[in-house]
Structures are given as C-alpha cells and as structure tokens.
A and B are shown apart, each in its own frame.
Chain A
Amino acid sequence: MDMRSNEPELRSLMLAGLDGDAAAHTALLTRLSAYLRAYFKTHLARIGRGPADAEDLVQETLIALHARRHTYDRSQPLTPWVYAIARYRLVDFLRRSKASVTDVAIDEADEVLAEGDPSSVESGLDLQKLMAQLTPKTRQAIQLVKLDGWSVSEAATRSGVSPSAIKVAVHRGLRALSRLATQRSSS
C-alpha cells in the first residue's frame, strides 16, 4: 500500500491526534512506522547497513514527528510533511555515519515511503540511558506522565509543581530526547 493513497485516512488520524485523541495518534505512529521502516531499510541497504540501524532511524523519526507535530500545517497534506522529516533524519544519519548522500541516491522526487514493512526489530536506542541525560525535573515529568501514565494533574501533585510546569517539562523533555537519540548514534 502506497502511503500517498492512504493520505486522507492518515491525515484524519493526524488531525485527531493534534486535537488530543491518543488512540488516533498511536494508530498514526504505528502506521507511519511501517512506511518509515521500508523507506530507511531500502536506503540503508545501499550502504550496507542492516535492519537495526533502520529501526534506530524509525524511532528517531517517530520521536521527531511527535516532538515537532506543531509544525504540521493543518491545511496541507500529511505525506510531504512526514517525508520531509524522514528525509531530514536520513540525511542527518548519513552525515553522522560519514556516508555521502549520493551513495544512497536520495533525490527530491524520491519514492514517498512506497511499501509498508511491519517486521520490526529491536533498536539500539535505550530509553532509560537517554532519560538519564535529562535534568532531574524533566526526567521526573516524562517518567510520571509518559511512562507511568499519571495524568498531568496527578503528576503535578506528586512532584509539587503546577500542571503547566509539568506540560512544559514533558514537551521540553521529548524534544531533548529527540536530540539525544540522534547524538547517541554519532558516538
């Protein structure tokens, strides 16, 4: 299934997710991860990188898609936005791994995430290790709200700060995790 032919469905999931529908957001990320996996596997195969590297990129891109979802313009189609982020993450990965962009033949008119690939492997990303690099307050906010599943107001009560401070910490924390995930692969 071509991603572009599923555009209306994926876009409506995205819009629902932006309005706070967690189930729609999770469904969207699951669907996109299959397209991203196929896309990264194809390109990384050309420089002899395996499925584990592709899975790293899938996860980096999912975190980026989530942390930067406010940059999606609701009036525009979703596919070009996802593709631009995936391509950006791929080019960044290649730069970090000292491969040239021409080696993997990415061009502007690239096939947009043609086939989905559901066969996920475990990535080299270790969430706990990444979390350890966050500031204590940010780490606690992510732990309570995103991992333990406490609501924002419950997390605020538990850590003795305001709900808006928790929201800000979660948002900053996810952006920091996105950055840390990409820096990790460079070392």
Chain B
Amino acid sequence: MKTDELINMLGTNLEPVKGGQLRTTLMIALGVGAVAAFCLMLVIFGLPAAALVGEYSGLKVLVLAFTLGLAAAGASFLIKSARPGEPGRKPLILIGLLLFAALSAGLVALILAHPTAWGGMVFGPQWAACLICIPLLAAAPFASLVWALRKGAPTNLMRTGAVAGLVAGALGATVFAFHHATGSIPFIAFWYGGPILVCAVVGAILGPRLLRW
C-alpha cells in the first residue's frame, strides 16, 4: 500500500473529535469499580453496621485519608498516563510520600510501644483477611481501569499497569475499611499498605499484556 493512499483513506469523511472523553471514561471506570468493590464487600461481610451508624474513630479517618489519598494521586497520574508522552512525576512522589508516611508512623508506633505488645499490634485482628480481601476487592476496580486505559494510548505499560493496580488496591482497601474497624497504626501500615503494594506489583506484571495497543 502507498502511504498517500492510506492518508487519503484516513482523511475521508473525517469526524470531529471531542476533547475530555478520556478523563470522563477514567472517572466512570473509577466510580463503577468502587461501587462494584463495595457491593462485593456487602455480599461477603453484610452491612457494616458500625460504619453506617457513624462510629468514626480517629484511626478510621487516618485509614481513609491514606487509602483515598493513594487512590486520588494514582488516578491523577492515570489521567495523564492514558495519553502518549511523559505524565509528570508529582503524583508518583505523592504516592511515595503517603507510603513512606504510613510506614514511618507504623514503625514509630512500634518503637514507642513495649516489645511485648508488638506481636499484638502487628498481627492484629483479621490480618489475614486484609491480605486476602483487599486484592480480592481490588479485582473489579482494576478490570474497569484497564478497560478505560485501553480506550487511551498509554506508552509506558508497566508503570501505567502498576499505578492502575495501586489505585485498585487503594479502592479495595477503602471499601474493606468500612467493614474492618479496628487495628493499630502499625497494623494499618503493614496489612493495608502491603496488600495495596501487592496489587501494584500484579498491575505492573499484567500491564504490558493488558494495555498493549
């Protein structure tokens, strides 16, 4: 085929393109993924009585600030990353700072506590549930984010996949926090932060396959 013929074909009956579709698609994917994760949480655990009645401990506010902060920073990165080119590093730095802050807070809390309490603080109630349920709840948001990103044209597939995994993990953790009310700061740092990072690693592995165009 001659290149001129191809160009003529592409230009024939050209349709105008609206701006901003990509952002809307990603926002819809985030919303749909979060709602799906929430529904799955309801199916598994039932209605989270405490959360709906309004029992908001200081810890829970911290947890939500951590997970929603990660999700928001990651989402702003994905909006740029869905387009060809360099997305900029600010959101990634913010993600790094949030993870670092959570880890340091966890370590400081451990250092301040008596060593005999460490086991109870780290392996708190339902640590295994966090490890299993957060990635499980992240599956739906991850699928919807991949669907949206495939509408775009990401050029760094591993990095985009990793951040999509992280956002999905953070949404999964946010939803899980409605059910899971108790714990200590080290517990949150390890058993919320850890599974979120696992989701990011899985996303980085799947990204090059799922997002290729």
Contact = CB atoms under 8 A, between A and B. Distances in A.
User: Which applies to chain B's interface (DSSP): helix, strand, loop or mixed?
Assistant: loop
Nearest to A76: B85
Contacts of A22: 11-14
A interface, size bucket: 35 or more
A63 B6 contact: yes
Nearest to A91: B155
Interface string B138-169: 00000000000000110100000000000000
B7 interface: yes
Contacts of A167: 15
B10 interface: yes
B1 A81 contact: no
A158 interface: no
Given A26-B8, A70-B17, A146-B9, A84 B85 contact: yes
Contact of A147 (B12, B16, B21, B84): B12
Interface in B6-58: 6-19, 21-22
A20 B15 contact: yes
B151 to A, nearest CB: 8
Contacts of B180: none
Given A68-B84, A71-B83, A81-B83, A120 B6 contact: no
A85 B155 contact: yes
A51 to B, nearest CB: 12
Contacts of B212: 92
B7 A85 contact: no
A120 B3 contact: yes
Residue from the set A55, A68, A170 with the largest chain B CB neighbour count within 10 Å: A68
Given A19-B16, A84-B155, A167-B15, A66 B3 contact: no
User: Contact size class for B?
Assistant: 20 to 34
A165 B167 CA distance: 34
Nearest to A68: B153
Given A20-B14, A145-B13, A71 B7 contact: no
B16 to A, nearest CB: 4
B64 to A, nearest CB: 31
A126 B2 CA distance: 9
A116 B16 CA distance: 28
Contacts of B3: 33, 55, 58-59, 62, 120, 123
A72 B4 CA distance: 23
B12 A18 contact: no
Given A26-B7, A55-B3, A80 B14 contact: no
A127 B83 contact: no
A149 B213 CA distance: 27
A36 to B, nearest CB: 9
A149 B12 contact: yes
26 contacts: A18-B19, A20-B14, A22-B11, A22-B12, A25-B14, A26-B10, A29-B11, A59-B6, A62-B3, A62-B6, A70-B19, A72-B83, A80-B85, A81-B83, A84-B84, A84-B86, A85-B155, A120-B4, A125-B1, A145-B12, A146-B10, A147-B12, A149-B13, A150-B13, A167-B15, A178-B213
A-B interface, 10 closest residue pairs, ranked by CB to CB distance from nearest: A20-B16, A84-B84, A26-B11, A22-B14, A68-B153, A84-B85, A88-B155, A29-B7, A71-B153, A66-B10
Interface of B: 1-19, 21-22, 82-86, 152-153, 155, 212-213
